[in-house]
Structure 1
Amino acid sequence: MLALFLQIWNLGRPNRFLFDETYYAKDAWSLLHHGYVTDYVAGADKKIIAGQTTGLFKDNPSMVVHPEVGKWVIALGERVFGLDSYGWRISSAVVGALMVFVMVRLVRRLTGSNLLGGTAGLLLTVDGLHFVMSRSALLDIFLAFFLLCAVACLVADRDWGRMRMARLVPSGYRTTASDWGPVRGLLWRPWRLSAGLFFGLACGTKWNALFPLAAFGILVWLWDAGARRSLGVRNARARAFVVDAIPAFFYLVVVALVVYVVSWTGWLLHADVYERALSNTQYGPYWGGYLQHDAQGFFPELIQSLRSLWNYHQDVYTFHTRFLNDATHSYQSKPQWWLVLNRPVGMQADLGIEPGQQGCTAAAGSTCLRQVLLLGTPALWWGAAIAFLYAIWGWVARRDWRFGLVVVGVVSTWLPWIRYDDRPIFSFYAISILPFTVIGLTLALGVLMGGPRATPARRLWGTTLAGAFVVLVVLNFAWFWPIYTGELITTPDWLHRIWFKAWI
């Protein structure tokens, strides 16, 4: 509720398109009213801001370069509140608040602590990147939410599976060389099915969800092998691969694939429109002779539509891998330095507001401005970067599986971007990394506070330091509030918050 309150406060301000909202808000409205994304008329942005909602779109389809799930979620808000800045942002605000809720539940499950679960939720709530993304109609907040939900389901499955395994093993059970441990009773995994659904929704929002899907699939196999090894099963990894990993592949990958294809239903129902408009474009070669023949019947039409969808994906992949390599953008950043906030993204800025205008109270010779800056809370991100290094040690040296969750999550959502650093990529993509850094930071704070065997003095000092850090993060978030929300601020006060030239 705290997160939702902060995120919907003056949500419709500024009443304009912020950064890539200009694409996704209009795409969502087009999906809602046409079933597929269409091109729009010249000057559509100004007409929408002025309140016009008709006569904005053409009949020909648009070459969208991202899947449709996130845009459908944005469309839900537009369906209820209309095509305005509040309508296209409200879905992000709701999802951002739900993301905090899932974070609290996940960390509570990982630690068994209400305090640490609440701390994780609070840290996510007061992170600037999460806050601004929750107030913007961009796709990445939905991607991060679905990934976090999928991982939360996998952690719940780990607990459920081990408890189920323990119940299936009779008292006094002793393994032999040929024992595999319980098999049949562990084939039905409802939490894994849920994880597959969420991974499918994540991939249906942005393709880069494929990397954490693969990474956590491997981690799940290692978890299963560890569970069987704890029973005394020999060659646990090989046997877990057969009886656990193969079924897990269907739960995670196959289910995700089905969900992903279903998410393109709107496109499939209008495949003929795309076939006429995009089969011979700059994005790729002619789609094939199968378009020369009109398919008759449900299944022939479905097969043709799926074949066209595959060719459409080839065109989109070609766009991402060939047509962006020579492009540049003033806010692009190197992913190697995302964890230390190397280059935030300026979403919107009104500069040079003179004293006396719009309530500006700047001294003579100075001006005021409004800015919305996509910047993580520095105290949180820099602390989380240190905690990530500790997480590597905690997984490798202490063999704490919870830190393995952090390491795999960060690596799979961060490192793949380095491969594409020769084209414009932006630091707000790191919103998918954020949940795992928050988990790692919270676990590190738990270690700092001391365990149940720690002396009272140790727990006192540890809790004091951990609490002081959380307060520092909250105060740091409050300090940057004006440039997270586009409030009127004097130029000197703005400069006090722009700590590095790269942040301009």
Structure 2
Amino acid sequence: MSQAPEQPRDPLGLTILVAVTFAALCSIRLTTLAMPYFDEVHYLPAAREMLAGGEYINREHPLLGKAILAAGIALFGDTPFGWRIFPLLAGVLTLFASMRAMWHASQSRFATFAFGFLLASGFMLLVQARIAMLDIFMACFLALAAWQFTAAMRKPEQGRSRLAATGLFLGAAMAAKWNAIPLAMLPGIAFFFARLSAGRRRLFTSRRGIPVPGVSLLEAALWLGAVPLAAYALSFWPALFMQENPLTGGGLFALHGEMLALQTQVLAPHSYESNWPDWVLNARAIWYYYEAVDGIQRGVLLLGNPLAMLLGIPALFWCLASGISERNWARTGMVAGYLASLGLWFVAEKSVQFYYHYFVPHFFLLGALALALDALWQAGNRRVPMLVLGSSLAIFAWFYPILTAARLASPQSFLDYAWLNGWR
């Protein structure tokens, strides 16, 4: 008699353990820097104005991320804890949701663990989860959308509700920061081409076939097209209560014209500016903070884990080749997500760009590396994956003080971490 196919066990408990450990690492010295630093100086004043119903500032970005920061101030006070508690929670949720998405996409316990491990030790998620910026909220909503979309394909009996949740989270991601727009388009495009490949005669109305049986292409357009746009539009509701209502005299369309003009204005050169080739090579870091206060030297460096970021590049090429040849949609999805999120910066008319714009692409880079390590693991080669993960952890441990504003020995301590000139 033929045996039943093996059913891999859901690594939910392991996922929670990784997320809780990451939360603990993020919380250390969260409030040590008692003043706003780096781009907190832009977003915190905007959040305060939203709370007071005052001036509409920081007009180039949507409102949702700043509204979440305002909620933190309202609940916990206008203090470093109030500023940064919701970014920290968003970072932990980002890690958890990313691992859930990997599980549903790969059905591999090791790939799920490796992805979470690489993200937690990859520097960027930790640093962005400890600062009151908008990027962590955008990443959080994108990770939640990826979780729900992959779960919809894996569990078609929950497909309708999962797709609806996907749409809501995609709209929220765009409402946090516009960088999410290319990725917000991917689920709908993927659904269309998957259903097209199923060869249904009634392409738009048939409910049979991949990626989510029971949901027609027309219905998917509602959940993955109309719902995100509606959620995005509703995110501007707090603007109605500002001293200067930006929705009068042209409404959302006029406001977005102004936002686009602000996004594409020519800015003065910045000492930390870089572009996408620098990001891919991990060649240009940003010092979010490096000062001595009361005789104590501290610093915060935004950089990618040098080992994982470089190994991720060949892993992407492997995912592309093996994903196409083996029709593995998890691998091709990593490549598509990477190209969509990074490709924005090939054409973006933004005069000054920074390494933190690589934050979202780096999720797909590390996801590709996790899938490549998983392939080795499943083939019986346990040594290489464990060596990579162990080395990633060792490098993370070395850099941890400069990622979390620890006390440094001297003003020249940055040389312990600035291995390249582009990291200085």
Instruction: Assess same fold via TM > 0.5.
Output: yes
8 A Cα contact 2:139 2:360, kept in partner: yes
Residue in structure 2 matching 1:88, options 83, 86, 101: 83
> In structure 1, what is the Cα distance between the partners aligned to 2:232 and 2:81?
28
SS of the equivalent of 2:154 reads helix
Residue in structure 1 matching 2:282, options 338, 341, 346: 341
Offset at residue 246 of structure 1 (A): 3.0
Please give the root-mean-square deviation of Cα atoms over the aligned residues, in Å: 2.6
Tell me which residue corresponds to 2:258. 315
Task: Give matches, 1:280-429, under 5 Å.
Answer: 305=248, 307-321=250-264, 323-324=265-266, 326-350=267-291, 358=295, 369-420=297-348, 423-429=351-357
Instruction: Report the AA paired with residue 307 of structure 1.
Output: G
Task: Give matches, 1:216-255, under 5 Å.
Answer: 216-226=187-197, 228-229=198-199, 233=200, 244-255=216-227
Residues 344 and 240 of structure 1, relative CA distance in 2, 3 Å threshold: farther
Tell me which residue corresponds to 2:414. 494
Between 1:199-208 and 1:485-494, the stretch displaced more is: 485-494
> In structure 2, what is the Cα distance between the partners aligned to 1:112 and 1:149?
18
Instruction: Report the AA paired with residue 475 of structure 1.
Output: A
**TM-score normalised by structure 2 residue count:** 0.87
8 A Cα contact 1:224 1:240, kept in partner: no
Offset at residue 346 of structure 1 (A): 1.2
Tell me which residue corresponds to 1:194. 165
Offset at residue 312 of structure 1 (A): 1.6
Tell me which residue corresponds to 1:153. 148
Tell me which residue corresponds to 2:212. none
**Which has the higher Rg, Structure 1 or Structure 2?**
1
Tell me which residue corresponds to 1:13. 32
> In structure 1, what is the Cα distance between the partners aligned to 2:40 and 2:336?
31
1:478 and 2:390 are equivalent in the alignment: no
Tell me which residue corresponds to 1:128. 123
Instruction: Report the AA paired with residue 469 of structure 1.
Output: V
Tell me which residue corresponds to 2:239. 267
Instruction: Report the AA paired with residue 141 of structure 2.
Output: F
Tell me which residue corresponds to 1:72. 67
Offset at residue 198 of structure 1 (A): 0.3
8 A Cα contact 1:102 1:148, kept in partner: yes
Q: Any gaps of 5 or more consecutive residues in structure 2?
A: 1-19, 210-214
Measured against aligned partners, the alpha-carbon deviations of 1:340-373 in whole angstroms (never above 9, x if no partner) come to 212111111116x9xxx846xxxxxxxxx42211
> In structure 2, what is the Cα distance between the partners aligned to 1:263 and 1:234?
39
8 A Cα contact 1:67 1:204, kept in partner: yes
Offset at residue 11 of structure 1 (A): 0.2
Identity of aligned residues (%): 26
SS of the equivalent of 1:204 reads helix
1:4 and 2:23 are equivalent in the alignment: yes
Offset at residue 397 of structure 1 (A): 2.2
> In structure 2, what is the Cα distance between the partners aligned to 1:135 and 1:391?
31
Residue in structure 2 matching 1:115, options 84, 102, 110: 110
> In structure 1, what is the Cα distance between the partners aligned to 2:375 and 2:71?
42
Measured against aligned partners, the alpha-carbon deviations of 1:439-489 in whole angstroms (never above 9, x if no partner) come to 2111111101124xxxxxxx1xx1111011101001111111121122213
Q: Any gaps of 5 or more consecutive residues in structure 1?
A: 39-60, 165-187, 276-303, 360-368, 452-458
Residues 384 and 306 of structure 1, relative CA distance in 2, 3 Å threshold: farther
8 A Cα contact 2:138 2:177, kept in partner: yes
Instruction: Report the AA paired with residue 318 of structure 1.
Output: A
Tell me which residue corresponds to 1:437. 365
> In structure 2, what is the Cα distance between the partners aligned to 1:215 and 1:11?
35
Task: Give matches, 1:6-45, under 5 Å.
Answer: 6-34=25-53, 38=55
> In structure 1, what is the Cα distance between the partners aligned to 2:132 and 2:124?
13
> In structure 2, what is the Cα distance between the partners aligned to 1:384 and 1:13?
33
8 A Cα contact 1:482 1:489, kept in partner: no
Residues 422 and 116 of structure 1, relative CA distance in 2, 3 Å threshold: closer
> In structure 2, what is the Cα distance between the partners aligned to 1:137 and 1:273?
24
Between 1:256-265 and 1:239-248, the stretch displaced more is: 239-248
Residues 408 and 216 of structure 1, relative CA distance in 2, 3 Å threshold: farther
Instruction: Report the AA paired with residue 251 of structure 2.
Output: S
Between 1:327-336 and 1:462-471, the stretch displaced more is: 327-336
Higher RCO structure (Cα 8 Å, ≥6 apart)? 2
- Count of aligned pairs: 399
Measured against aligned partners, the alpha-carbon deviations of 1:22-75 in whole angstroms (never above 9, x if no partner) come to 1111211221232xx52xxxxxxxxxxxxxxxxxxxxxx335210011111112
> In structure 1, what is the Cα distance between the partners aligned to 2:205 and 2:71?
46
Offset at residue 236 of structure 1 (A): 6.7
> In structure 2, what is the Cα distance between the partners aligned to 1:422 and 1:312?
18
SS of the equivalent of 2:155 reads helix
Residues 422 and 65 of structure 1, relative CA distance in 2, 3 Å threshold: closer
**TM-score normalised by structure 1 residue count:** 0.74
> In structure 2, what is the Cα distance between the partners aligned to 1:205 and 1:417?
18
SS of the equivalent of 1:115 reads helix
Offset at residue 421 of structure 1 (A): 6.5
8 A Cα contact 1:11 1:135, kept in partner: yes
> In structure 1, what is the Cα distance between the partners aligned to 2:220 and 2:419?
47
Instruction: Report the AA paired with residue 227 of structure 2.
Output: V
